[in-house]
């Protein structure tokens, strides 16, 4: 039995392999006032990086605090990505944004995205974004110039695995061109938010 949910607001989940342009698209869509979007900040137990702020990039919790919140049922979804490195979506964060009358947008991994869809099935649109090809994805990752060869190979292996989940999403968008993809997603989201 799920707790009572605020009446207003919908949820939009974006999942994609690294390098597909998902995060850029989410930021662009959030700038559109007609969509009335608010970003769901995830919680994590991994160490905070120098540039990151608590409550803006993530809610940073110790592994012990994260585990306690799991036991309390505080997460809509969570995952232990690496040993003692947990990531999750706090129910309180989703409820806070919905109670403000916002539509909540998530930039989240495929398993987490599908879990949110399972938790809020009637009010969630799950969108899978992918690059035109694995070759293009690898090219984009290399163009970032931020990853070692090992990391690139790891991300490519993860991308192949994540792409197997694409058919489980409501919509799959191939991001060939950011502007065109943004326009397509804006139309899709407006229809969804209007209940079409």
Confidence of residue 196 (pLDDT cuts 50, 70, 90): low
pLDDT at residue number 24: 94
CATH 3.30.450.20 fits 11-193, yes or no: no
Can you give the pTM of this predicted structure? 0.87
Lowest mean pLDDT among 3-17, 43-57, 166-180: 3-17
pLDDT at residue number 191: 96
Question: Residue 5 pLDDT > 70, yes or no?
Answer: no
- pLDDT tens per residue across span 141-191: 898 888 889 988 988 998 999 999 999 999 999 999 999 999 999 999 999
**CA distances for 142 relative to 18, 27, 46, 150, angstroms:** 11, 22, 25, 12
Is residue 156 within 8 A of residue 131, CB to CB? The reply is: no
Residues in the chain: 196
**CA distances for 12 relative to 22, 29, 75, 96, 172, angstroms:** 13, 11, 17, 16, 13
Question: Residue 2 pLDDT > 80, yes or no?
Answer: no
pLDDT at residue number 4: 46
């Amino acid at each position: 039995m799920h707790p009572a949910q605020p009446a207003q607001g919908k949820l939009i989940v974006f999942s994609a392999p690294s390098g597909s342009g998902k995060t850029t698209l989410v930021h662009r869509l959030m700038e559109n006032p007609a969509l009335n979007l608010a970003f769901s900040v995830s919680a994590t137990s991994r160490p905070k990086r120098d540039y990151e702020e608590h409550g803006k990039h993530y809610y940073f919790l110790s592994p012990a605090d994260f585990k306690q919140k799991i036991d309390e049922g505080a997460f809509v979804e969570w995952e232990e990505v690496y040993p003692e490195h947990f990531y999750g979506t706090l129910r309180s964060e989703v409820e806070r944004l919905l109670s403000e009358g916002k539509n909540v947008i998530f930039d989240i991994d495929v398993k987490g995205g599908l879990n949110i869809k399972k938790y809020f099935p009637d009010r969630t649109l799950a969108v899978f974004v992918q690059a035109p090809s694995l070759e293009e994805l690898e090219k984009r990752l290399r163009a970032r110039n931020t990853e070692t060869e090992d990391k690139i190979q790891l991300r490519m292996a993860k991308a192949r695995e994540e792409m197997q989940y694409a058919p489980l999403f409501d919509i799959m968008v191939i991001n060939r061109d950011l502007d065109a993809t943004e326009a397509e997603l804006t139309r899709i989201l407006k229809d969804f938010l209007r209940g079409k």
